[in-house]
Structure 1
Amino acid sequence: MMGYRLLLAAALSLPLTNVFAHGDEPHGEAPALPTNALSLPSAEAHSPDFELVAQLQGDHLTVYLDNYSDNQPVLGATVEVESDSFKASLQATAPGTYQASASALNHPGEHSLLFTIVAGEQSDLLDAVLNVSATAAAPAAASSRLWWWGAAIALLTVAVLLFKGRRRLGLANQGGAPL
C-alpha cells in the first residue's frame, strides 16, 4: 500500500515541478506578445469632426467614436453601419462606445463599411475597410481542448483511486491484507 501512496503522491506533484523550473529570464513584466497575436479585425476612419475605430469581436462590431479635434468621446450619437447586404444601428454601451451584432461580417475577406453618424448638430458619413483574416474568423478551440485533457486526467485519477479504495475495502471485509 505504501508503494501506491508514494506513486500517487509523485503523480500528483508532477505538475508542480514546472512551476519552479525556468531559465534565466527576468522576473519583471511579461514580454510583449507579437502585435498579430493581440489584434482583432479593425477599421478606422476620420473626418474633420469625428474619429472612428471599429473592431470585430466575434459576432459583434464595436465602434469607438470621438471628436477629431479634442479626442473626447462622442455621447448620445446615432450610429449606423452598412456593408453590402448588412445594415445595423449601433447601441451605446459606454461613453463613446457603440455596439451591434454583426455575424454577417465574421467571415474572411475585405468588407467595405459605411458609417452614418449624427451627433447633435453634426453629421457625417465615414467609410472604412474591415479586413477579416481566416484565423480571426475561426473560433479558437485550443483552450477548450486543453480543458478537456485536464478533465479527462482528473476523471481518470478519481476512477483509479475509487477502484483502489473499493479493492482495499473488499479485501479488508474478507479478512485479507490490503496490497
Structure 2
Amino acid sequence: MHHSRTLPAALALLLGLAMPAARAHGGHDDGPAAPPAGAAPRFAAVSDRFELVGVIDGRRLTLYLDHAGDNSPVQDARLELDLGGQVVAVARVGEGLYQAELAQPLADGEIPVTATVVAGADSDRLAADIDWHASAEAPDKGGWTRAALLAAAAGLAGVALGLWAWLRSRRSAAARTGGAA
C-alpha cells in the first residue's frame, strides 16, 4: 500500500523539523563567551586584603566578602556601601554574605560603588563601577524566549504539514484503489 510508505516519511519529516526546536533551548554552556542573557548583573571590587562581589537581582543586592589571599569568607566584618553617592543599608546574613534592598532601581549608566570593610584590626576601602543598563539587564524569569517561541511555532507547523501530507496520501491511495483507506 502507498500510505504505508508515507507514514514513515511523515514521521521523518516531523523529527527533522523538531531538531531545531530541540537545539533552541536556553541555559546551556557554549563556552567562555559573554554571560547568558538574563544573567544577574555583578560587580567586583578588590584590594590587597579583601574581595567584594555584588550580584544585583532587581532591587535586591547580594554581597560576598572574601579574603583576597585565600578566597575564604571574611568572619564578623562590618560593611558599609555607597552606590553612586547613595548610602545603602547592608545586613549580614552569614559569614562573608550580606544583603541589601535598594530603595529604588538603579539608574542607567555607569554607577560608582564604594565599600568600607572593617574586620577586626583590618580595614580597607574598595571601589568598582557597575555598568548598568536596566532594559538590557532584565533577568529572564524562566519565560519563553523569542527563539523558543519561533522553534515551537516551526515545530507545530511541521506537525500540521506532516499530518496534511499523510492524510492527502491516504485519500490519493484510496481514490486509486477505489475504496476507503
Q: Which TM-score tier does this pair reach, normalised by the shorter chain? A: 0.5 to 0.7
Question: 1:22 maps to which residue?
Answer: 19
The answer (yes or no) to whether the contact 1:105–1:111 under 8 Å persists in 2 is: no
The Cα shift of 1:93 comes to: 2.1
Over the aligned positions, Cα root-mean-square deviation in angstroms equals 3.4
- 1:96/1:136 CA distance change after superposition, 3 Å: farther
> Judging changes above 3 Å, is the alpha-carbon distance between structure 1 residues 142 and 46 closer, same or farther for their aligned structure 2 residues?
closer
CA distance in 1, matches of 2:97, 2:129: 19
Amino acid at match of 1:54: G
Equivalents in 1 of 2:67, 2:142: separation in Å? 40
Contact in 2 for aligned 1:50/1:67 (Cα 8 Å): yes
CA distance in 1: counterparts of 2:49 and 2:125, whole angstroms:
11
Cα separation, 2, equivalents of 1:44 and 1:115: 11
Identity fraction in percent: 31
For 2:41, the equivalent position in structure 1 comes to 41
Change (3 A) 1:121 1:142: closer
Following superposition, the deviation at residue 130 of structure 1 comes to: 0.9
Is the Cα contact below 8 Å between 1:60 and 1:103 reproduced in 2?
Answer: no
SS in 2 for 1:37: coil
Separation of aligned partners in 2, 1:87 and 1:48: 24
Summarize the Cα distance change of 1:30–1:75 in structure 2 as closer, same or farther, 3 Å threshold: same
Instruction: Report what 1:99 is aligned to.
Output: 99
| Partner SS state of residue 89, structure 2 | strand
The superposition leaves residues 55-77 of structure 1 with CA deviations (integer Å, 9 ceiling, x where unpaired) of 21110111111001111001221
Over 3 Å counting, the alpha-carbon distance change for 1:122 and 1:105 in structure 2 is farther
The correspondence of residues 66-77 of structure 1 with structure 2, limited to 5 A, is 66-77=66-77
In the TM superposition, residue 134 of structure 1 has moved relative to its aligned partner by 3.3
* Stretch of structure 1 that moved more, 103-112 or 64-73: 103-112
Unaligned 5+ segments in structure 1 are 1-16, 146-179
Task: Give secondary structure in 1 for the equivalent of 2:143.
Answer: helix
What is the Cα deviation at residue 138 of structure 1?
A: 4.3
5+ residue gaps, structure 2, are 1-13, 146-181
Give TM-score scaled by structure 1 length: 0.57
SS in structure 2 of the partner of residue 22 of structure 1 = helix
User: Residues 115-164 of structure 1, C-alpha deviation per residue, up to 9 Å, x if partnerless?
Assistant: 0111111111111101112334546588299xxxxxxxxxxxxxxxxxxx
Give the counterpart letter for 1:91 in structure 2.
A
Aligned residue-pair number: 126
